[in-house]
Amino acid sequence: MILSLGQYVEAVSELNHDLWFRGVGSTDFKLTPQARWMQLDAETEGTIAYRFLRDYGKYVEPESNPWKVYALMQHHGLPTRLLDWSRSPLVALYFALTQDTSSTNNSKKGVWALDPHLMNEYFIGTDLVYCPSQMGQRRVYNLSKMENSPYTAKGNGKVWENLQSDKNTENSVPFKPLDEYLPYPLYALDPKNTIKEVSWSCPLAIEATSSVGRMDSQHSAFTIHDESSLPLDTLFKGSNDILRFIEIEPSQTQKLLKQLHRAGIHHESIYRDLDSLCKKIKDEML
């Protein structure tokens, strides 16, 4: 049970490097994205994406990369199948301490720590984490099938169990297009895409890039989820290597927030806009 910022930093330092973190005000908030817990069907998801594509150019320069658009939708509150994570344990702690818990009776709060490499190894056989917005051919290959491959199949490799289309091979190496995760209006944003043929059957950890300053200040990363996958805390229950929970003592919330503020982690540093600047001034002065 974490009682101070120093104790939290010590607990995090004992974990493996290159982890991702997600703070929750209550463990009732499962590790599943908004579109999944809202149980949106594909048609509704597609309509939301279409309406965003139709109108968002009034406010920002339009993007041709569908994954940057999807991240933009996520960070402005639309339901997607992206789940936010942070590379910063301090940012995740801030969200755990400030998340609204009025809709739950469970006061158990804390920070989830995910090993994205081990998670992907479990599903796709290799520990690579992809960044779709920076890829030309947005494909995940079964790298263990390459000739003289430096990669060996590890974990369960569940993705490849469901790969049935002979079309999705290159030099006899099977692959799955990452764009198949996207709602159809975003999928069709790339002129190379035509009809969605292969569905994913697992979540995947992915990197993200964006011109949005908030994503940089929050050290954003994502897991993306298929239409039926279980919450990560259910999928990896008891698997401390892939996912673990650092519990925070609720009575220490205000103390921890003050310690974070002294460490430079506060509303303005995370959101980077005039509203957050004014909130910071009010918190300090009033």
Tokens matching residue 226? 């298929």
Split at pLDDT 50, 70, 90, the class of 58 is: very high
CA atoms of 85 and 149, how far apart (whole Å): 31
Chain segment 169-203, per-residue pLDDT in tens:
888 888 889 999 999 999 999 998 888 876 788 99
- Cα 3 off chain centre by: 27
Q: Residue 13: its pLDDT value, please?
A: 93
Confidence (pTM): 0.90
- List the structure tokens of 264: 């430079």
Measured distance CA(170)–CA(243) in Å, rounded: 33
